Amino acid sequence: GSKHATTPADNYYLARRRTLQVVVSSLLTEAGFESAEKAAVETLTEMLQSYISEIGRSAKSYCEHTARTQPTLSDIVVTLVEMGFNVETLPAYAKRSQRMVITAPPVTNQPVTPKALTAGQNKPHPSHIPGHFPEFPDPHTYIKTPTYREPVSDYQVLRERAASQRRDVERALTRFMAKTGETQSLFKDDVSTFPLIAARPFTVPYLTALLPSELEMQQMEETDSSEQDDQTDTENLPLHMSTDDSGPEKENASVLQQNTSLSGSRNGEENVIDNPYLRPVKKPKIRRKK
Amino acid sequence: MNRKKGDKGFESPRPYKFTTHQVVCINNINFQRKSVVGYVELTIFPTVANLNRIKLNSKQCRIYRVRVNDLEAAFIYNDPTLEVCHHESKQRNLNYFSNAYAAAVSAVDPDAGNGELCIKVPSELWKHVDELKVLKVHINFSLDQPKGGLHFVVPNMEGSMAERGAHVFSCGYQNSTRFWFPCVDSYSELCTWKLEYTVDAAMVAVSNGDLVETVYTHDMRKKTFHYMLTIPTAASNISLAIGPFEILVDPYMHEVTHFCLPQLLPLLKHTTSYLHEVFEFYEEILTCRYPYSCFKTVFIDEAYVEVAAYASMSIFSTNLLHSAMIIDETPLTRRCLAQALAQQFFGCFISRMSWSDEWVLKGISGYIYGLWMKKTFGVNEYRHWIKQELDQIVAYELKTGGVLLHPIFGGGKEKDNPASHLHFSIKHPHTLSWEYYTMFQCKAHLVMRLIENRISMEFMLQVFNKLLSLASTASSQKFQSHMWSQMLVSTSGFLKSISNVSGKDIQPLIKQWVDQSGVVKFYGSFAFNRKRNVLELEIKQDYTSPGTQKYVGPLKVTVQELDGSFNHTLQIEENSLKHDIPCHSKSRRNKKKKIPLMNGEEVDMDLSAMDADSPLLWIRIDPDMSVLRKVEFEQSDFMWQYQLRYERDVVAQEEAILALEKFPTPASRLALTDILEQEQCFYRVRMLACFCLAKIANSMVSTWTGPPAMKSLFTRMFCCKTCPNIVKTNNFMNFQSYFLQKTMPVAMALLRDVHNLCPKEVLMFILDLIKYNDNRKNKFSDNYYRAELIDALANSVTPAVSVNNEVRTLDNLNPDVRLILEEITRFLNMEKLLPSYRHTITVSCLKAIRVLQKNGHVPSDPALFKSYAEYGHFVDVRIAALEAVVDYTK
């Protein structure tokens, strides 16, 4: 291992690991082994280390769960219980006669994490923040230095970009639609170069042909907001169609209301329009010839 | 026919008349089965004793039961038009069919007192009849899957009929009301009406006259619409539309109601928002109120014709509806509305005495519609339209041999047929060809205009007013059916009215254009006699070719000289071909002087192009189009160029443009380019100039200098100042520029280089227009513009160079065609996701694909078109696809 230049942190971890190995070896001796292969010892060390790490990790979780930062004994106990360890047996095991005592590992100092390059002075707390709060982070983490690139203002480039972007989107979209649906082709031998989305008849062809598309509607709203009222009217329209079960009378009333409001919006003052189609439908006479 | 001139007016061909009214009651309409059940009740007033048979019209109806005054009556139903040739197997030709068909139609002609349904008056009532007492005929009938007259539209989807937007409406050509209920299906048999329709509660029934009330049936599931029409009306003017219509009361005129199919209300609002102006216009010029107490417009799908006018209502195609974003459809739809309204006065309110008087009604309604056009779209548009109509009728008559407005029939013998040159009889509206009838209407309004030229517009309008006021007086009279004949117009009555009002004799004019068919064909040429300072004009006529007639009478010639414009009236006589017209100006001119034009304007002209010896700038024959004629006039190219540049009449400008096609010279090019750039110039003239310029450029291809024709012009007008290859973002606020912007690429694509190919530069230019087209900031839709760009791509296609008739595959695809196909594919696919208004882009794409096929770039395969021709596609798309399919047979 001398080939590698070792850092203090590596040394620290190696020392701990060596102590664990000693522990494993002594436990093996205690169990009556006279010798062990290196690989077996390594494996057991690894297992022990994992087990202890897990206790630590789990204990930390429990303690944080109860909003503390330092684990207590009960955290450890809960952890061990959780891991399936019978805590009751622990004191007896600790006091067993044949236990071996290992010397504590030499105290090596916890390596200090090298300080990040400080850039500038940390900002002091403002007066309203108590002193025990953490310090501000290094300025470089929050100070921004805006950079400027020449914005694209060249009209030609903008148009070019808008045009090709739209074209790309359209092409990708139509290709996708063509790939996922039925297609027609102008060439018998090739169906993929110029795929045409198959013509599909509509049940009500005039609707798609006459009504502006949503995109156009949007545009219309943008260019002329006075049209908006008209559009909200239409949203209510299917109403009088879909109230079959509510009885004809009610339904008719809704038609009526709607129409008076329609025409009323244009000439606000004359709210009484006498048009025969707006009059309520009469109830049948009791005696009517068929 | 016993038509008598004089005050007695009309005499019915029937031995009975209708009195107060006829009842039509349709109490069941089944959309699923497309059937109708109902009854009619006719009140009949015998005019002769011993009336024992009553003949009525009825087609395709199943008659269940006939009762006369509550007594069962026997009846015979026979429709001879169902089997025209009677198993005739030897003579399978059109001529035989045509004669047999005319005979069959005659046999049931209501104007001859005939009918398909013959009812025997029960013997118990003979005595009653002898006392000339009233008879009531009650007929129960039903109608299953009608093939005509009533059209059902039932979309194939889930939901109730109302949710599906199912609807039904009456339709047909001329008098075809007999298709949906028994009646006397004649325009001359007037009566008042009571109409009742029981329909599903979610539906609306729209019919003629006033809606008196709407009543639920006892189960509350249906309602009955009761209509009363108190103005005497012919059965042929009765109509019906039933559907789940959305209702819009006209905000300007509350007695006017508009109906459209579900979801289209916003479009209906926009489309009809203009109608009140048309009303105002007609009422003002006719100085007469709209005759009915209400008016209804119904917009329906699968319309038989775009516009159908009936008493107090009009049925329109739903495809006329449009939003405020659509430019191109707006004037077209407004024209349809105006046409429909004109026919309300003349055609519905005033009906005709007989088929041979049809021209008066069509003429008057067409004429007042023309006046509306003049007021709405301006004199230029009006004159352009008149010229267009004139060209159309002239071309049709020369091709087929004449349109006769007022045929007079002898005893029904075939040799008396006044139109033996035609393949069909013109004796009945139903035996005519559709095209002939369209041309007939066109000629009728042009002749009305000729009458106006003769007696002045003021007198003309007085005549109309007189007809209307007589009719409205008559219409308010009850039970006096002979008074009602004032509501029928006849040729003789109309002419009498003209002579009373104007005091002028227009008989020669009528004889020339109404009583005989044919148009005039003039050939003109001239020479200038310098010594006498006289213009020697030679005007020849061709009156031997089919469709022509000899013209004798005055003819106006306008000569633009250096000193001004002068009108001369020549007398065209039998044997005089040459006419000497003295000139006012001396040939050598004062160079600095301005030249006065016809309209009083004085302009500077560059006179270097003209002949130094002659003071003539240009000559026009019959500039006011006061003869139905075709003029072929010869004058030098520079004269046409002057005419194009300086004559202010758009018709003259258009004539000059067409003439210049034959003179591909730099001077013509310059004249056309100048006109193209002139913003004061009428946009249609500028559009026409584009195509002429393309033709000239092609003729001059070897000597053409500079960029392709129109390219720099287009760049200057529509492209960015800083980057001339990029078109400005769309802004169609200026409609004239818009139309020009649409047309120029289409014309440019017709340019060809020395190899007869479209120049690469032009193709790339059009592709760039497509690429940089940006409509985001535009108030208007660009669907028509994009469609025309595709048309332009199609125009650029030239025949493929084929080696050994190889099969067309992708590998040997021409690279230019590949670019075009790329665009077409994208456009056609985008249409599926974001369809354009009336699918204009799909239509253009289909046409372009057919062009590519025809030119051998793409394998000729009709499969694509067949799929687009199927029912369920928008009608414009289907027509385009069908046209492409038909094209395979050519």
Task: Convert the pLDDT of each residue in B783-798 to its tens digit.
Answer: 999 999 999 999 999 9
Give the pLDDT score at A110. Answer: 65
**Which pLDDT does position A290 carry in this prediction?**
44
Q: Cα–Cα distance between B272 and B250 in angstroms, integer?
A: 8
Q: What pLDDT does residue B588 have? A: 58
H-helix or E-strand spanning residue B519? none
Which of A94-103, B112-121, B861-870 is least confident?
A94-103
Contacts of B244 in chain A (CB under 8 A): 241
The ipTM estimated for the assembled molecules is: 0.84
Return the percentage of chain A with pLDDT > 70, whole number.
71
User: Does pLDDT of A183 surpass 60?
Assistant: yes
The residue of chain B nearest to residue A251, with distances taken between CA atoms, is B202
* Residue B828, pLDDT above cutoff 50: yes
**Cα separation of B309 and B239, whole Å?**
9
Q: Would you state the structure tokens that stand for residue B822, as one six-digit string? A: 């790329």
A234, A248, A277 ranked by CB distance to B221: nearest: A248
pLDDT at B744 over 60: yes
* CATH hierarchy code of domain B355-474+486-514: 1.10.390.10
pLDDT at residue A181 above 90? no
| CATH code for the structural domain at B248-349 | 1.10.390.10
The pLDDT assigned to A67 comes to 87
Report pLDDT for A175.
Answer: 87
**How much is the pLDDT for A9?**
75
Residue A263 pLDDT = 40
**Taking the alpha carbons of B831, B836, B838, B843 in that order, is the dihedral positive or negative?**
negative
Residue A289 forms contact with B (CB below 8 Å): no
A241 φ/ψ angles, rounded to the nearest 5 degrees: -90, -30
Q: Pick the range with the lowest mean pLDDT from A257-271, B293-307, B460-474, B506-520.
A: A257-271
Mean pLDDT of chain A: 76
pLDDT per residue over A48-72, tens digit each?
999 999 999 999 999 999 888 888 9
**CB-based contact B71:B124 (threshold 8 Å):** yes
Query: Which stretch of A111-125, B155-169, B602-616, B688-702 has the lowest confidence by average pLDDT?
Result: A111-125
Cβ burial of B27 (10 Å; 0-12, 13-18, 19+) is middle
Per-residue confidence band for A250, with pLDDT thresholds at 50, 70 and 90: very low
Choosing among B138, B773, B832, which should be mutated to test the A contact, i.e. which has the most A CBs within 10 A?
Answer: B832
The pLDDT value given to residue A236: 36
Q: Which residues of B touch A215 (CB under 8 A)?
A: 834
Answer whether CATH 1.10.20.10 is correct for domain A8-95. Answer: yes
Closest-CA distance of chain A to residue B665, Å:
37
Query: Which of A164, A210, A243, A281 should one mutate to test binding to chain B, selecting the residue with the greatest count of B CBs within 10 A?
Result: A210
Choice among B43-47, B413-417, B729-733 with the minimum mean pLDDT: B413-417
Q: Where are the domains of chain A?
A: 8-95, 155-213
Residue A17 — pLDDT band, cuts 50, 70, 90? confident
Higher-confidence residue: A246 or B593? B593
Asked if A199's CB is within 8 angstroms of B248's CB, the reply is: no
B13-78+116-244 to CATH, choices 3.60.20.10, 3.40.50.1950, 2.60.40.1730, 1.10.3720.10: 2.60.40.1730
pLDDT value at residue A243 = 33
Tokens representing A56 are: 């630590």
Under the banding of pLDDT at 50, 70 and 90, the label for residue B659 is very high
Whether the pLDDT of residue B47 is over 50: the answer is yes
Q: What is the pLDDT of residue B16?
A: 66
| pLDDT of B597 above 70 | yes
pLDDT, position A230: 38
Collect all residues of chain B within an 8 Å Cβ-Cβ radius of residue A242. 163
B304 pLDDT higher than 50: yes
pLDDT, residue A125, reads: 83
Q: Which tens digit of pLDDT belongs to each residue from B201-229?
A: 999 999 999 999 999 999 999 999 999 99
Tell me the pLDDT band of A247, cut-offs 50, 70 and 90. Answer: very low
Confidence bin at A261 (pLDDT 50/70/90):
very low
Mean pLDDT for A192-219 is 86
Question: A42-51: which pairs have CB atoms within 8 A and are 24 or more residues apart?
Answer: A45/A17, A45/A20, A45/A21, A48/A20, A48/A23, A48/A24, A49/A17, A49/A20
pLDDT number for residue A225: 44
pLDDT at B524: 93
CB distance B248–A252 less than 8 Å?
no
What mean pLDDT is predicted for residues A109-136?
Answer: 75
pLDDT at B7 over 90: no
Q: B715 vs A149, which has greater pLDDT? A: B715
Give the pLDDT mean for B565-589.
Answer: 82
Query: Quick one: DSSP state of residue B541?
Result: E
Interface test with B, best of A158, A166, A167, A186 (most B CBs within 10 A): A186
Q: How far is B642 from chain A (nearest CA, A)?
A: 42
Chain region(s) in chain B for CATH 2.60.40.1730: 13-78+116-244
Q: What pLDDT, on a 0 to 100 scale, did the predictor assign at position A141? A: 79
Q: Give residues 207 to 266 of A whose Cβ lies within 8 Å of B.
A: 207-213, 215-216, 219-220, 223-224, 227, 230-231, 233-234, 237-238, 240-242, 244, 247-249, 251-252, 255, 259, 262-263, 266
Q: What integer pLDDT is reported at residue B831 of this predicted model?
A: 93
Check residues B95 and B490 and name the one with the higher pLDDT.
B490
Tell me the longest C-alpha to C-alpha distance in chain A.
Answer: 120
Taking only residues 163 to 192 of chain A, the set having a beta carbon closer than 8 angstroms to any beta carbon of chain B reads: 163-164, 167, 170-171, 173-174, 177-178, 184, 186-190
The structure's pTM equals: 0.81
Local confidence band at A117 (pLDDT 50, 70, 90 cut-offs)? low
Please tell me the distance from the alpha carbon of residue B471 to that of residue B353, in angstroms, as a whole number. Answer: 13
Of the candidates B347, B395, B394, B392, the one whose C-alpha atom is nearest the C-alpha of residue B367 is: B347
Low-confidence winner among A250-254, B466-470, B779-783 (lowest mean pLDDT): A250-254
Average pLDDT of chain B is 90
pLDDT, mean of residues B745-753: 96
Say yes or no for a CB contact (<8 Å) between A231 and B160: no
CA dist B139 → B24, B88, B118, B197 (Å): 10, 34, 12, 16
- In A, which residues are within 8 Å of B201 by CB distance? 248, 251-252, 281
CB contacts of A178 in chain B (<8 Å) are: 829
